[in-house]
Amino acid sequence: MKKRITGAEALMQALIHEGVTTIFGYPGGGIMPVFDALYDHREDFRQVLVRHEQGAAHAAQGYARSSGQVGVCLVTSGPGATNTITGISDAMLDSTPIVVISGQVGAAALGTDAFQEVDFVCITQPICKWSYQIRRAEDIAWAVARAFYIAANGRPGPVVLDFAKNAQTTMVDFEPASLPIQRGFIPVPQPSDDAIRRAAALIDNAERPLLLAGQGIELAGAQEELKQFVEKTGIPVGCTLLGLSTLPSGHPLRQGMLGMHGNLAPNVKTNECDVLIAVGMRFDDRVTGRLATYARQAKVIHLDIDPSEIGKNVPVDVAVTGDCKETLARLTKAVHPAEHKEWVESFAIYHTMEDERVVRPAIHPAEGPLKMGEVARRVSEATADSAILVTDVGQNQMMSARYFRYTRPRSIITSGGLGTMGFGLPAAIGATFGAPERTVCLFVGDGGIQMNLQELGTIMESGAPVKIILLNNNYLGNVRQWQELFFNHRYSCTPMMNPNYELIASAYGIPSRTVAARADLDDAIHEMLTSSGAFLLQVAVEEEENVMPMTPPGADVDHMLPFIDSSTPTEQWKSTFIH
């Protein structure tokens, strides 16, 4: 039944119709009528006031990634809108469904360079799935329904609604829109029977198959389908960074993380397998290393919901398009039961090598300063390996991802494609709202935490119970590592002079503790996890520790430091990287 209401109130009703319960936002003149309408809906929405619009976008991402729902952020025009661009770009590259609603000047003033006017639709069109300007109140119901449909369906991603001020204040006869038919938009392509048959034939005849598990499995909710498929076929699994929690860490077929700072065994075996099955991943350059030598010996089967990803980087022998929750289930029915005992056992020697030279020194050091890996493993163990890991970007990201353990789906939230420093703190806040029943542990470096440090104010006001583990090495650690390895130890602008983080936390009413001695670590972790709300645990870690193993830039994926032969021409890698 239609009701005559303002456009701002129509937006509220449309969001309620879409099932929205949480909005991350920051008010301003261009969106003030909407925030005025929001005042009357304090019982309908959790309204989370962030301290910067970039924080709103990242918080919406954290909410979406932890809950599986569409995240929503609401900002004003001009700089309020443009401050969300990093978050929109990040969501696009990591297939995160968010809807960004920005204010805009009235339609009559468009193109006049009015105060805080910016062409936000044109700015965001290349970095989102759909960007639309609402100029008439009559278009609100249709635009909101379409926005949420596009954001959540098919390969998820960000959508932008630019909301002209006149459309916010005009009266309209409003009725929520039903799911619209999208001409030309086929969110889930149907897999062909022939592709399933050909993929099954390759898998049945494989002697050394390897499956690469990506975030698409998480997005599709296909974790159980993955488990059933690999257990029927006996195929070992390597996980991308964003796909680390698709299969529990303790599963006997799970071989670890792929890529530049991944585990040695799955990287080496990528270039030894005879059939490579990629599921919900895009063959990112950090996974493949040098494409010219990547898995050239293997027949490649690629399962993905986005046809544009298939064959984009790696040639494919069989393309299986569709939702992997369906395609994995169909493949499981089509293949014959198998075991690949000798092949799976062949991974063990590489696990042993990595364990001796990298893992044990990282998580059980005999002496010396605290290490990042041991902190991550001890926090994971203290949460019974059931927490959500949120990371910032840098060494803190790679170390925590490597040494955290995963027993539940949707347990890692990190910036993969864009590599956004400053992502972690607001994303962790969003994650606490998206999965309030779970412990959210944020690992962040002393560089990244300062990029959105103001969001401690959001924690103070909202009560978001984020457990912040600040790995402080007084460097921009990841850049410093590359400077050490590839730029002759020339540490240009990477040493960090840091503030007193405990005093800052205290100013926001957040309890904190600093640990530098190994003997104090477990007690400090216990204090953090048993604290009723947010907590900042600062750990002074080894200043010049490196993340290993590492595939140098431009190298083959299986040529990993520190395991490569000493005669390997590392100068060639330096030249490839620098030039």
pLDDT per residue over 466-488, tens digit each? 999 999 999 999 999 999 999 99
DSSP letters spanning 525-569: HHHHHHSSS-EEEEEEB-TT----SB--TTSBTT--BTTS-TTS-
- For residue 550, list its beta bridge partners: 561
Q: Tell me, yes or no, whether 398 and 501 share the same domain.
A: yes
Q: Which of 318, 348, 378 is a domain's end point?
A: 348
Q: What is the 8-class DSSP label of residue 42?
A: T
Of 175, 15, 92, 64, residue with least CA distance to 418: 92
Scan for tokens 């089509």, then name that residue.
334
> Distance of CA 437 to CAs 285, 443, 566, Å?
35, 19, 50
pLDDT per residue over 59-77, tens digit each? 999 999 999 999 999 999 9
153: in domain: yes
Q: Tell me, yes or no, whether 465 and 523 share the same domain.
A: yes
CATH (domain of 16): 3.40.50.970
Structure tokens belonging to residue 26: 């920051």
pLDDT at 268: 97
550: in domain: no
Q: What is d(CA 223, CA 100) in angstroms, rounded to the nearest whole number?
A: 29
Structure tokens belonging to residue 160: 């932008």
238 neighbors 256 (Cβ within 8 angstroms): yes
- For residue 514, list its beta bridge partners: 538
> Distance of CA 211 to CAs 132, 326, 407, Å?
39, 17, 19
CATH (domain of 224): 3.40.50.1220
185: in domain: no
Give residues with Cβ within 8 angstroms of 353, minimum separation 6.
Answer: 264, 563
Q: Tell me, yes or no, whether 449 and 317 share the same domain.
A: no
Q: Which of 127, 143, 174 is a domain's end point?
A: 174
**How many domains does the chain contain in total?**
3
pLDDT at 272: 97
Q: Tell me, yes or no, whether 273 and 315 share the same domain.
A: yes
Q: What is the 8-class DSSP label of residue 246?
A: S
A 10 A CB-CB count for 390 gives: 33
| HSE-CB of 323 using CA atoms within 13 angstroms | 16
pLDDT at 574: 44
> Distance of CA 348 to CAs 79, 264, 351, 405, Å?
53, 10, 5, 19
Q: Tell me, yes or no, whether 113 and 26 share the same domain.
A: yes
DSSP letters spanning 151-204: HHSSS---EEEEEEHHHHHSEEEE-PPPPPP-TT--SSPPPPHHHHHHHHHHHH
pLDDT at 2: 80
Q: Which domain holds residue 257?
A: 193-348
Structure tokens belonging to residue 6: 């303002």
280: in domain: yes
pLDDT at 425: 98
A 10 A CB-CB count for 108 gives: 12
The SS3 assignment for 492 reads coil
DSSP letters spanning 381-448: HHTTT-SEEEE-SSHHHHHHHHH----SSS-EE---SS--TT-HHHHHHHHHHH-TTS-EEEEEETTG
Q: Which of 143, 174, 205 is a domain's end point?
A: 174
Q: Tell me, yes or no, whether 370 and 344 share the same domain.
A: no
253 neighbors 344 (Cβ within 8 angstroms): yes
Q: What is d(CA 388, CA 429) in angstroms, rounded to the nearest whole number?
A: 12
456 neighbors 504 (Cβ within 8 angstroms): yes
524: in domain: yes
219: in domain: yes
**Which backbone phi and psi does 497 adopt, to 5 degrees?**
-95, 120
DSSP letters spanning 275-320: EEEEES----HHHHBSGGGTTTTSEEEEEES-GGGTTTSS--SEEE
The parts of the chain modelled with pLDDT lower than 50 are: 566-570, 573-579
| HSE-CB of 220 using CA atoms within 13 angstroms | 31
Cis previous bond, 315, omega within 30: no
Q: What is d(CA 152, CA 149) in angstroms, rounded to the nearest whole number?
A: 6
pLDDT at 288: 97
Q: What is the 8-class DSSP label of residue 367?
A: S
Q: Tell me, yes or no, whether 8 and 68 share the same domain.
A: yes
Q: What is d(CA 540, CA 471) in angstroms, rounded to the nearest whole number?
A: 6
HEC letters along 72-126: EEEECCCHHHHCCHHHHHHHHHCCCCEEEEEEECCHHHCCCCCCCCCCHHHHHHH
Burial state string for 533-551 with b = 16 or more CB within 10 A and e = fewer than 16 = ebbbbbbbbeeebbbbbbb
Q: What is d(CA 537, CA 460) in angstroms, rounded to the nearest whole number?
A: 16
Q: Tell me, yes or no, whether 165 and 201 share the same domain.
A: no
Structure tokens belonging to residue 48: 């989370």
Q: Tell me, yes or no, whether 98 and 145 share the same domain.
A: yes
A 10 A CB-CB count for 526 gives: 11
Q: Tell me, yes or no, whether 79 and 213 share the same domain.
A: no
Containing 46, the helix (H) or strand (E) segment is strand 46-49
354: in domain: no
pLDDT at 177: 86
Query: Identity (one letter) of the amino acid at 36?
Result: D
Q: Tell me, yes or no, whether 344 and 368 share the same domain.
A: no
Q: Tell me, yes or no, whether 226 and 267 share the same domain.
A: yes
The SS3 assignment for 249 reads coil
